[in-house]
Structures are given as structure tokens and as C-alpha cells.
Structure 1
């Protein structure tokens, strides 16, 4: 029996933000116990998602009246980070779930929001998404009372482990984009089991084919009488998910540093040929210097990520009609800064921890490589250079980034 299959005795669900973060730490501890073994096995994470459901974390943002946590986005970001410290893949799955669970609020009508939030919260449903914008849009055919989705996406995080999938496409012959939430397990959705990358191996991010998936017009998010009324609030999905990225990157980096310091204290041997021999590796000057440098950089990245989280939370929990393009743009710049900073810091930590753990720490059984592989893989999601340019344009020219599929 694996660590994730062992029963965890959660008799009740937390009621405060700090309680939810402690619950996430408990989940992370369970995941960390066999994270390396599960990464090597690369099996569909059914038990891991069951752990997220049993802990209550999947309904963190759900309405209290339906059994949800009723928490804010700053808590969701901290929880994502905590889980990622135990297992980066599962942290990513949870962070994406939070974004897709909020999708109805981003673009839906009040009636759609209420229906979706009651559905997923009361059933502990888990979300995936088939939206990857680098691929061609899914083609939507308008058949009167129904929309029919067809096409293929090369990435679909969550895929087989999800209960609900977010689809996005364009109505044929128009420029109308339509989001819809559909059951994941149906004949028209085919997951191709082709995710086999060097990192984030348990995210089930492989390709998916959409074959004639039917959606009633009343489920087309944000549409009334087949017309969509856009708001600036609708465009918050991109900075929101980009900050999800930054938070699970931060969690991965925190997990790496935590594991490395533990290994150094317990197993790393001091170097006997330096002329100033120490009894323990933890007394070595260069080891202390390196850990001090990495910890300081990580704290700085965390502070910036938290600052961005506080800023975007104000918008995500505001009245939707009140959010302005200026507010949205300023938050997007801050998120871009946080993302680029934690990528650089996290990759440095994932690399340099080997310098302070020693040659024996490169053994496959130790698994220190998992942190660098995970962060390196997902940090290529979209070029970080463009995030630096967004911040540069704001700093030099006062320009705010225009909403795009990646901004």
C-alpha cells in the first residue's frame, strides 16, 4: 500500500484560512513520503486526487452553503504552494482545478455560476481543462438548441482524473469564443495517455480529442440569447492562472530546499581536505554560505508572489462590473514579475542543492532531481522572456500589457 492509499482520519473540515493551510501541509506530508517512487512509476494519479477530495481541498473555494470552504484566492494560492512542496505534480493539478472551478465566475451568468458551484462543491468534483491556446480552437457547430464541439488539444492537464472538463472553442463561421463545462467521462472525450515528459509527470497533461460533444446553449458560459456581454473581469483568467504557476513553482522550490537541508544535516559528510576541517557538513563555511544565499532569494521570491496574490485577490473577489482595465493591467505586471523571479530562483535552487548535499545525493533513490525536472518542465509553458518584457515596458514606458491568452 502506497502512502497516498493509506487512510487519513480527517473528521472535519477546516473553517479558517490557517486551518486550510495546515490541512494542505498534512496532505503534502502524505504525498512527500513516496513522491519519488510515484514519479518514477508515472501512473495516473487516481489515489492522489482522492486524497485531495478526502481532505476537502478541492472545495476550498466552494460556497459554504454547499459544504465548501468559502475561502479566498490568497488561501487557494497558499494551499497550492503547500501541496506542491510535497509533490509538484499534484500541486499543479490542484492549482489548475481552482482556476477551472472559478471559470464560471469569470465568464458565466449569475445562474450559471450558482449551478456550477453547487454541482462541483456538493459532489467534490475535480476539474480539468481542454483549452490549450497554442493549438487550433475547437470548432463549434451551432445546431439550434445545442452547440457541438469537435477538435483536438495537445495538452489537457487533469484529463483522466477529472470529473468535469472545461472546453473552449469558436463557433464555425464567427469569432465567438464559447466556454462550457461538461462531464469528463463520455464517449466524445478521448484522452490519449501520451504524457511522458521529464517533469510534472503525474499531471496527466497529455492530448485529448473532442468528438461531437454536445452542450445546450444555456450552458454556454456568459451567453444570454446567444449573445455574450464582455467585462474586463472576464480577462482575469490569465493573470490568475499565471499566479497559480508561480505558486506551485514556489512550492517546488520550498520543497527542494527543505529536503536538501534535511539531507545535508543527516547524511552529507564534511570535506576532509580543506585545511579547516569540520566535524559536520553543517559547519562547512561554503555550505552555510550557499544555504544562506538560496534561502534569502527564496524569501524574496515568496514576498513578491504573496504581494501579487494580495493584489489579484482584491479583483477576483470584487464586484465583477467594477474591475477596470487599469487595475487588471497593473496586476498582470505584478504577476509577470513574480513569475519570472520564482522561475529564476527555483531553477537555481534545484541546481545548486547538489553542491551542498554531495555526490551521493545524486543517487536515483534520493530523488533530488525531481525538483529541477518539475520546475524546468512547467516553466517552459510560455517563454519567461516575455514576462520580463512586460515588466520592462511598464517600468520604462508605463505601458500595461493587453489581455491575451498568455498575458
Structure 2
């Protein structure tokens, strides 16, 4: 049996027309949001079918490449959009409205494709940008902190990674993979970017979960994967030691708020998408209830239906405003300090982290309430598999278990009550 038979994938050829249609990337924020909505419209056409078929998203990644969305944050000199993170977050949200899996893949790519900005040197960041943008690469990452760290040994002029991770989002369909591990005999961590399609990266193809089914978030074994010292992000390639000014703790730890806000934004996109999808169904298919003593001719006249939609809409608007504010705070941190990483204080970093934590809490609470509550205003027939309304809740429920939101609430409580900023961790 061939690998194609064992692990079926969607066919990239189905989106080939968009390669020429989107031959130019947008030039401003509104243009990027328009492009993201166009991508979402394409994905929405068969989102239910693709979710149920559960194939590896080769075609969907090709669509993201054709659209230029993978390049939104990169520098213009290499063909990128050079947009700030707050615009990137809005684009993630738009795509996730139509397909949570692809919104998630886009979000993870944007994080991993900018990793060298945060933990690398200026030269490494520039070199990585050129590699990713000129080749229009999609980047995945095998960095799951709940597992044991990958082991890094030193071999001649390079470093060698070994180990395994239970989760590796997008790796199967990626061009490059971010690895992270600890050097043998030390507590020193190293990030490096390596080609995904090599013998030493062995994907388990075991992502068979209830939600986010098209993210290829299964396990991976890393077996003697090599990288040159020049690609050890933030390390001196001659002295083989970390550069303290580059890996300055407050700046380097921004990597975590960046990814946590990716989460919050695709959560919101999924929840907003659920409300929009449900509202179309209600208008077209839901029937008014004739046994309540106040019979209506149409479901859009039913008080309880109007009340629920209004309440969901208000809370999602508030959550979006919060997410936008947090995105602005994060973008300002990047813009305000530029290449001078040492100026970012613990207090500034902590303030950004608590805006992000607030989004995570609110998006989780509201998102789960909306994605389950829409069934109350669509009716029993909306539970049909052909309707596919369940995918929104399944997607959101799956990823909101990534790290317990209760700890974000506690963190925010200590900040609000005691004025304590959070200590950077792999999840804060």
C-alpha cells in the first residue's frame, strides 16, 4: 500500500486557479483582510465535507500559499507584506470563521515563521526571512513543552536533535519545522529550523481527534536530525554558546504571548463563524415553536431566538474588541523596541501577557457558550451531520484544552489583586 493510500490528502490541484488570481499580495491592512475573507469564502464552500473526510490538508496549505497570507508579516524586501502582528491576528480570525483547522495552521505558521525575530540574531532573522518568503514555505513546529525536551548533542560543526513529541501541528504538510531542545549536560535550550521532509523526521500520522481534524497535529519522532551551528537561533556559531543580549529574558519570552494570542484569535474566529453559520440556517430552516402560547409565524419573530442571538452577538463583539486591543499592545511592544531587545522591561512584558491572558479567558468562555448554544436557536434538525454545525464546537473544545484556562484565571487574579506580573513559562 502506497503512502497516498495509507494517508490520503486533499489534492492541491483543486485550488490551482487561485495561484494566478492572487498573483499579487495586498498592500495595506484592508487589502489583507479582504484577501483573508476571499480565502475564507473558498474554504466555506466545502468545509463540512472536508472536515468529515479528514484528509491531510495539502490542498488547503497550497491555497494559503497562493493567497499570500503566509507572507503577511515578512519584510517587503523578500516579498512579504510587512504588516504588524495586530493585522496578522485579524487575518487569522477571518480564516478561522470558515475553517478552524486552516485558521489554526495559518496562526501556527505565522508564529514559527517569525521565531527568529524573537530568539535569533538579526543575521539569522534576515536569512530565515529570505528562505521562507522567497520560497513561499509553510512552517510547522515540533515544540510541545509537556513532553520531554528533545536532546541535543554536539557533532563536529553542528548540533543533532533526538527525541519525540506527541503533538506537531502542521508538520506533515510543512516545508520547514522548528525544533527545540536542551544541550546534553546543560540546561541550555536551542531553537533551530530544519527541512521537514527528511528521513530523520518521522511523522506518526496519528491525529484522529474530534476537532481541528485538518491540522495534522499528530506525533513525530526526531532521529538524528542535524543543523549547523549557524542555524542555532540566538547562539554564537563560533563560541557555541548563547548570546545574552539576543536571548534577553523579557524579549525572548515574548514568544509565548505571541502564540497564546494566536490561540485566542482563532478561537474567536471559530465562535463568530458558528454564529454566522447558525444564523443563516435559522433564517432558512428553523421553524417557529407552535406550543408556547404565543405562536409566531417565523423563527425570526421568536423572542427567545432573538434574545439568544443578540446576547451571543454582543459578547462576541466585546471579545473581538478585547482581542484587537491585546493585538495592538503586542504590536506596540515589537514596534517600540525594534532590534534593541534589552529595553523591554519585565513590567512591559507582563502587561502584554495579561492582555493576552484576558483574551484567552474570554474567548474560551464565550466561544464554548456560543458554539454549543447555537443549537438552541437552530433546532433539532441542525444536529444532522450534513449540516455540520457541530464542527465549530468540536474545533473549539479540542484546542481550548491545550493548556488549562483555570491557570490563566488565577494568573489574572494575582495581577488584579496583588499587582503581580506573571513569570514567563512555556504557557505564559
Partner of 2:91: 79
Aligned CA distance change for structure 1 residues 306 and 4 (closer, same or farther; 3 Å): farther
Q: Which residue of 252, 270, 274 maps to 1:234? A: 252
Give the Å deviation of 1:3: 11
Deviation >6 Å, runs of 4+: 1-4
Partner of 2:313: 295
Partner of 1:122: 134
TM-score (norm 2): 0.93
Q: Which residue of 52, 58, 65 maps to 1:53? A: 65
SS at match of 1:200: coil
Partner of 1:101: 113
What does the per-residue CA deviation read over 1:217-264, in whole Å, with 9 as the maximum and x for residues that have no partner?
111000112121121211101011000000000000010000011111
Cα distance in 1 for residues equivalent to 2:396 and 2:180: 27
Partner of 1:191: 203
CA RMSD, Structure 1 to Structure 2 (Å)? 1.2
Aligned CA distance change for structure 1 residues 379 and 121 (closer, same or farther; 3 Å): same
TM-score (norm 1): 0.98
Whether the 8 Å contact between 1:3 and 1:34 is mirrored in structure 2 is: no
Give the Å deviation of 1:48: 0.1
Whether the 8 Å contact between 2:11 and 2:59 is mirrored in structure 1 is: no
Aligned CA distance change for structure 1 residues 69 and 356 (closer, same or farther; 3 Å): same
What does the per-residue CA deviation read over 1:342-391, in whole Å, with 9 as the maximum and x for residues that have no partner?
10100000111001001111100000100000000000000000000010
Q: Which residue of 337, 362, 368 maps to 1:341? A: 362
Question: Which stretch shifts more, 163-172 or 224-233?
Answer: 224-233
Q: Which residue of 238, 242, 267 maps to 2:285? A: 267
Cα distance in 2 for residues equivalent to 1:352 and 1:114: 46
Give the Å deviation of 1:20: 0.3
2:373 is the counterpart of 1:352: yes
Whether the 8 Å contact between 1:4 and 1:31 is mirrored in structure 2 is: no
Cα distance in 2 for residues equivalent to 1:112 and 1:11: 28
Q: Which residue of 175, 181, 185 maps to 1:169? A: 181
Give the Å deviation of 1:63: 1.1
Give the Å deviation of 1:273: 1.6
For this pair of structures, how many residues does the alignment match? 407
Aligned CA distance change for structure 1 residues 3 and 226 (closer, same or farther; 3 Å): closer
2:270 is the counterpart of 1:258: no
Question: Which stretch shifts more, 78-87 or 271-280?
Answer: 271-280
Whether the 8 Å contact between 1:3 and 1:33 is mirrored in structure 2 is: no
Question: Which stretch shifts more, 110-119 or 224-233?
Answer: 224-233
Cα distance in 1 for residues equivalent to 2:358 and 2:86: 17
Cα distance in 2 for residues equivalent to 1:17 and 1:374: 27
Give the Å deviation of 1:144: 3.2
Q: Which residue of 319, 322, 334 maps to 1:316? A: 334
Whether the 8 Å contact between 2:11 and 2:58 is mirrored in structure 1 is: no
Whether the 8 Å contact between 1:3 and 1:30 is mirrored in structure 2 is: no
Unaligned runs of 5+ in 2: 1-9
SS at match of 2:254: helix
Cα distance in 2 for residues equivalent to 1:137 and 1:220: 16
